[in-house]
Amino acid sequence: MSEFKYDLAVIGLGYVGLPLAVEAANNTLKVAGYDINEIVVDNLNNSMSHVEDISDQALNDALTKELFFTSDSKVLGESEYIVISVPTPLTDYQPDLSYVEAASKSIGENLKKGHVVILESTTYPGTTLEIVKPILENVSSFKAGEDFLLGYSPERIDPGNKEWTFKNTPKIVSGINKKSLEKISKFYKSIINEVVEVSGTREAEMVKLIENTYRQVNIAMVNELAILSNMLDIDIWEVVEAAKTKPFGFQSFRPGPGVGGHCIPIDPKYLSFKTRQIGQPVRFVELAQEINNSMPNYVVARISELMNKKEILLKNSKILILGVAYKKDIGDTRESPAIDIMESLLEKSADISFYDPHVDELVLNKNNISKEENLENLSSYDLILIHTPHSEFHEINFGTVSSLIFDSTGSFEISNAERI
């Protein structure tokens, strides 16, 4: 690696890129973190992390090693390995690869012989070969697989997961040829405990989509069974717990208010996009998306039904949403079902507030939603909706709360609560 000034440049310093940069620096690599957002760069260089899994102290410790952050693209030409970890959002259900394309162009403008380029951003199968490779070759006039090496490695970050971290989660790697695969595998083996090689970039791109499509489909199945069980007066939670006792052939999934975050609601749509291009819709996957997307409305309907039984009108009622993040013990509200639930309640003229120890403020339709600051006020609400099962909520004595309680997570043993 001596012919280059840096071992690694990471393009995009979000929840994927920043942990990679920090872990690489902690493993004695010389790392340049690159982002076009100068505010992000300045904050990071001053040990101010915007990624929950990387504390300010962890960032500061990494900065004392050979790590720095910059908005100067010249570092791309000075780094042997370049990892692309930029966003790939969906716009009108179409994958937006503009960030990947811009990153590839910047790399191409700085590309040298011997460079190794790795795409980590989640995308549809074929992106590395059909989008990234042509841009790099056209801009640089170099040939992929010969002058420079290229591959794909899907990110597997699970925010808030203390057991499975960046370091010990097996890493899928691929290359466009044998030489690319060998170099990319060698790099990740230097910073991650276990590396799993696959035969090509399309296979690696498909791995991430299968992982999260699998979860989407199974969550949708148990959500639909929860709706059916409620109609049949069956306790779905007791059923799931009993089914879990089978030591083979069954994996437990739990019903809930929907799916959220940066992966499960999004990744199957990349798959749907690609299959529509070849004229083969994935009907099962799209049905699962439809079911999970309907769950916030189902929650609101159950809330309305519960309040009607107590002769409480939903209009002008006081409702507190406990937890608005998409999963427990983090503050990320991206694609959170809580957003759709709260918007629906507002449309029905309910007076809503929220409490989430991990979320400081919440804005819906340019309006700040009131945040409850005192949990001693719980009984002042007509209904409490438990949306996110944060660990802190297990310390609440719900038995003393006189309000109606609807637990959409099934994570709490509350005798006076309705569950999904």
Q: Which residues make Cβ contacts (< 8 Å) with residue 395, sequence separation at least 6? A: none
DSSP state of 65: S
DSSP codes of every residue in 86-140: ----EETTEE--HHHHHHHHHHHHH--TT-EEEE-S---TTHIIIIIHHHHHHHH
Q: Which of 11, 24, 263, 384 is catalytic?
A: 263
SS3 385: strand
Look up 35 and say whether it is catalytic: no
> In this structure, are strands 363-364 and 367-368 parallel, antiparallel, or unpaired?
antiparallel
Gap between the Cα atoms of 160 and 165, Å rounded: 9
> In this structure, are strands 31-34 and 67-70 parallel, antiparallel, or unpaired?
parallel
Q: Look at the block and give the residue holding tokens 């915007």.
A: 50
Gap between the Cα atoms of 415 and 412, Å rounded: 9
Instruction: Look up residue 291 and give its amino acid.
Output: I
Residues with catalytic annotation? 263
